[in-house]
Amino acid sequence: MNTAEGQQMNGYLEAQEQWDQRLDQELTWSWGHRPRSEAMAPPPPLAASTPLLHGEFGSYPDPSLRLALTLTPQALHIQKLRPKPEARPRGGLVLLTEVSGCCTLRSCNPSDSAAYFCIYTYPRGRRKGRRKATHTFQADGAATYEENRAEAQRWATALTCLLRGLPLPGDGEITSRLLPRPPRLLLLVNPFGGRGLAWQWCKNHVLPMISEAGLSFNLIQTERQNHARELVQGLSLSEWDGIVTLSGDGLLYEVLNGLLDRPDWEEAVKTPVGILPCGSGNALAGAVNQHGGFKPALGIDLLLNCSLLLCRGGSHPLDLLSVTLASGSRCFSFLSVAWGFVSDVDIQSERFRALGSARFTLCTVLGLATLHTYRGRLSYLPATVEPASPTPAHGLPRAKSELTLAPAPAPPVAHSPLHRSVSDLPLPLPQPAMMSPGSPEPLPSLSLNGGGPELAGDWGGAGDAPLSPDPLVPSSPGSPKAALLSPIIEGAPETPASSEFLPPTPDGDPVAVSPGGPLDHLLPPLGTPLPPGWVTLEGDFVLMLAISPSHLGADLVAAPHARFDDGLVHLCWVRGGISRTALLRLFLAMEHGSHFSLGCPQLCYAPARAFRLEPLTPRGVLTVDGEQVEYGPLQAQVHPGLGTLLTGPPGHSVREP
């Protein structure tokens, strides 16, 4: 390496170290089982190319193929040693961002002294989306099984620590004692989400990946509107490390408002929540996908990306918007409040739910054909801090009235089928069959509590002994994982019925609202004058959108500079007088987050801490997180970091050389 190359590498490592230090300051790892208020010591920063482990292994099922493995903070490097050395074989770079988990295995043949560890990856193909690939390595460098097992577990432990953001000892021994108990997740599935494919996607993709990550979980299928809301109100939250919804944005709306309905809402709302996109409206999942450093994705690709992030753990504070409606009721929003074109499209598309996400495209075209304007008054409290500056391509137009603003093998468990009833906790969940790397035939099922797959002997032909799970962290009878969970009490919260639901919407369904939560200290009572410092605009609007995260849909980046915890609500509105063609251009550009760079004079933006919307048109549609609410004046205030979102680690563009 010459002097120039050495300086370049030093600069690269210094930049990487600064980035790692920044991530350590910003990210809280949720799988550490510490309360959010407790300070967490970040792991020491490591350069991306720092070798952590290096060793020689055999390949399974062909042990004559010898491999050199090198583990770094970002990837596992595989080199072929024998029979034909290859420094960069195909598939020789396994990025940790594509790894769901790993496990240790042992041979069922008592005379086999080798131990094994298996890595589950989901690399992206050249033309298609992610496909599962399994790498199994044979640790056989020692004479006894106990020594080989210790080596296999050392590698599996180090890899698991990297995946979950757990610190590795600088010069200490890497053993399975570094790993805490497996995190316990409650999965709530809306089986009717995503054109009825949510349940199939859950069984075929989500459950195998979560098991590969070594996460413990129980699963419930929701049966009706507000079912999830009722479930979380009776939940013993101390027994769960997170609640994850498998549906669209609507199910998470129920969960968050259910947590804020509880008498202990101040602690309950700190429970980490996550979302795996199995519905047609997947806006928050799109924002999580972007936060994780993945390219924009839809459908199965988006689901696999978000599942990979969930497997790695890691949470982020989540701003919630307290929305007070005309009747005086409150609900909490994690996504958006919409009026005009956006809410019209959202509600009208319900007729075409069978089309999935295509229903929004269809109703956008129909809405453009019958474009309406709405008379109203928008008031907002300007942000006192500068929002994150967008890139030059995302320059934001300023509203004329606010020119100062800038934008041990576990005991066997009998398998039972998955049920819809809440009385089935805990559920031993059967796993879908796994595929061997070279065979289209499925392998035997893997056990949830076994810690890994049972690899069939037909991998290497007749005579090869199958491998059985050898878990890193065995479950003892008294461990939290093996303990029975408290029953979930399903029922209405202990509040007057009049405060639980709004008057029925035009389609007859009551909309649940939340009476709990923090006080809105920035808002005067609805209908009273606003205090000094507020900005008020009155006129004709085509749409008004108040959004918290960056995405309005999985492929619609409405506020490209927004963050989950920036303490802002991002107000975007389009004034009357815009042509249908110009409005269409805005939505097409929104797919890339470049709509603000079009220079559209009718498009305006302002970051705010609170706002009030007073529709002056007698009829219209208002939505909160895509759910229709009563029409009339409303006001809202941001509560910074009130919730906690399971996001996985933040992504960045630095790649290994």
- Looking at this protein, which amino acid is placed at residue 406? A
Cα 109 from Cα 28, distance rounded (Å): 43
What is the 3-state secondary structure of 465-478?
Answer: CCEEECCCCCCCCC
**Bridge partners for 115 per DSSP:** 106, 139
Any idea what DSSP says for residue 349? Answer: G
User: At 375, which helix (H) or strand (E)?
Assistant: strand 374-382
Tokens of 452: 């890994």
Provide the sign of the torsion angle of the four alpha carbons 270, 309, 180, 417, taken in this order.
Answer: positive
Instruction: Indicate the residue type of 18.
Output: Q
Strand pairing partners for 573? 544, 604
Beta bridge partners of 220: 188
Q: How far apart are CA 227 and CA 225, in angstroms?
A: 5
Task: Output the DSSP codes for 483-522.
Answer: SPPPPP--S--SS-GGGTBPSPPTTS---B----S---TT
Phi–psi pair at 613, nearest 5 degrees: -120, 125
Which residues are known catalytic residues? 249
And the tokens for 645? 């979102």
Tokens 């350590």, residue?
Answer: 24
Nearest Cα neighbor of 64 from 646, 520, 464, 657 is 464
Distances (CA, A) of 163 to 102, 176, 375, 544, 645: 10, 14, 52, 41, 18
DSSP class of residue 130? Answer: B
Strands 535-547, 569-575: pairing kind: antiparallel
